[in-house]
Every structure is written in structure tokens, then in C-alpha cells.
């Protein structure tokens, strides 16, 4: 196994749980680094990205350079190295302004943030490489992935670790809007399973799949669940909605079930509980005070 990482957003400590891993340190914006990482490999799981809608609004050029041009580098390197299949981490954000629920892969993407545009463009490159070069490419549209080891300290941190950390440290979580916006929260183990299925599924190349649980919960429901698990009364601070955020998101996972044999094994409640337990274990002082 070989990993390419620039550690721009990741942490080296996350690799400590893996044995026998060869690390190639570098950026997917470099073709040379990408080629070094994929040469001799049969399969590539392309998870690298510069995440966050707000970050892309502040700096759309860098988001495009990493997420779109970086993906093109990975695809070119994979083609040149004779890789059999690339599984690409896309995003539910590509659905954007579409109000229909649940989201299906055959809907026309209507991205409303630079991040979403960069992911849609990368998807299109994957589709083109499948058709033009015969490189098997599979795009997985993730819906609000959460779980242990997400960084809750970043200003661009995902909502689940931010809310949990606020509860455990006695701070007020920030909610942009009234908290009634809803998401199809997807525990990380389900995403890992989907990637492994996508590596070998015979009818997956050239296709795009929603990866989620097929359910949606409001941010207020998430806060209530965290409060119940931690025993902490949570009083959120409400601010104005952020540009680029969509009000509701829910996936139709019928296609993934049919072609990837994908079934989410861990639901919302169990996933949040596992994430609370992990974050609490990293904050012994906060945990013992409960």
C-alpha cells in the first residue's frame, strides 16, 4: 500500500494505525509526485482534496487547482502507469440548487459554490478518461461524512466534530441559520465499505454513485442527540446562513445498492455515539469533568 499526502489538511498521526504503508509526501498538483505514488499500482483510491465550501468561496482559484487540476494529474499519472481503476471521492455538493429530494445521480448538477464546481469538473474528467483512454473510473458522491479523527479545530471543520467538541468543552456551538437545515450524515465506515466495493464492482466503471444512508436529520436533531449522549445542555449560537450552503440534502442510494452491493452498516445514531466517544477520549480533562 502506498499513500500520497501533502498534509495540508491531514495529520501524520492518522497513519500510525496502518502497517506496511509506503508514504510519498507531496501534492497532487505535481504530476511527478502523483506518478511516483501510483506507479506499480492496480487500483487508486483518490481521496485527496481541498475541502470546505466556505474555503472555496474565499479562495476559488486554489480549490480549482487542487480539486480539479489535481484530479487531472492523478488521472494522467494513473493512465500512464497502467493503473486498472481509479475511485474518485466526489461530493453531494454538486447537486447544489436543486430542491428535489432525494438526490439521484441522473439529476442535472446545479453547483452553487466553487467547491462544488471543482468536484463536478473532476467528475467529468473521470468520465472522459473512462471513455477516451479506457481507464476505469468510478465517482462516489459523499454525503456529509463524519467520524473519528476528523479535525474539530479547523475553521473549516465539519459540523459533527465541531458540535461535539463544543459540547465537551462547555462552549456554544455555532449554527448558521435556524438549525432546520437537514443533511444525510454518513459515518466514515460506510464510506470505506463503498470504496472497497467500488474497486471491483464489474458494472461501476464510468458511473457515479451517491454514498450515504438515504436518511436526513436536521442540525437541531444532531444537537439534541449530542446533548443526550454527553449529558450536556447545549445552547447554540445562531448566525446568518452562509452563502453556498444548501438547505436540505438526502441521497437516493438505490444505484449504489444495485451496482456496488452497497448497504450502510452504521446508522446516524450509532455513528454519532462512536464519534462522541472518540473525541471524548482525546480530551481526558473534558471527559472526566462530565
- The catalytic site residues sit at 115
Place of cell 474555503: 55
How many Cβ atoms from other residues are within 10 Å of residue 281's Cβ? 10
| Rounded-to-integer distance, Cα 168 and Cα 234, Å | 10
| Rounded-to-integer distance, Cα 74 and Cα 82, Å | 12
| Rounded-to-integer distance, Cα 15 and Cα 1, Å | 12
- 2 touches 37 (CB < 8 A): yes
Amino acid at each position: 500500500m502506498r499513500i500520497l499526502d501533502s498534509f495540508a489538511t491531514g495529520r501524520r498521526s492518522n497513519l500510525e494505525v496502518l502497517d506496511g504503508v509506503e508514504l510519498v509526501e507531496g501534492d497532487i498538483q505535481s504530476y511527478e509526485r502523483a506518478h511516483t505514488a501510483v506507479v506499480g499500482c492496480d487500483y487508486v483510491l483518490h481521496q485527496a482534496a481541498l475541502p470546505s465550501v466556505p474555503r472555496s468561496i474565499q479562495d476559488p482559484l486554489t480549490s480549482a487547482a487542487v480539486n480539479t487540476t489535481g484530479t487531472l494529474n492523478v488521472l494522467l499519472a494513473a493512465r500512464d502507469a497502467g493503473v486498472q481503476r481509479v475511485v474518485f471521492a466526489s461530493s453531494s455538493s454538486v447537486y447544489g440548487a436543486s430542491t428535489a429530494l432525494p438526490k439521484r445521480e441522473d439529476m442535472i448538477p446545479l453547483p452553487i459554490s466553487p467547491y462544488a464546481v471543482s468536484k463536478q469538473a473532476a467528475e467529468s474528467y473521470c468520465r472522459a478518461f473512462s471513455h477516451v483512454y479506457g481507464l476505469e473510473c468510478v465517482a462516489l458522491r459523499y454525503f456529509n461524512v463524519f467520524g473519528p479523527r476528523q479535525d474539530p479545530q479547523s475553521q473549516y471543520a465539519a459540523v459533527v466534530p465541531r458540535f461535539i467538541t463544543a459540547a465537551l468543552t462547555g462552549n456554544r456551538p455555532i449554527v448558521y441559520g435556524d438549525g432546520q437545515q437537514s443533511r444525510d450524515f454518513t459515518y466514515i465506515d460506510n464510506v470505506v465499505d463503498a470504496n472497497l466495493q467500488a474497486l471491483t464492482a464489474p458494472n461501476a466503471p464510468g458511473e457515479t454513485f451517491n454514498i450515504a444512508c438515504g436518511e436526513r436529520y436536521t442540525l437541531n436533531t444532531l444537537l439534541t442527540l449530542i446533548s443526550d449522549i454527553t449529558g450536556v445542555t447545549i445552547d447554540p449560537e445562531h448566525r446568518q446562513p452562509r452563502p453556498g450552503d444548501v438547505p436540505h440534502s438526502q441521497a437516493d442510494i438505490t444505484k449504489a445498492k444495485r451496482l456496488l452491493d452497497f448497504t450502510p452498516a452504521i446508522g446516524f445514531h450509532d455513528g454519532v455515539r462512536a464519534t462522541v466517544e472518540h473525541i471524548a477520549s482525546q480530551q481526558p480533562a473534558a471527559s472526566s469533568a462530565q
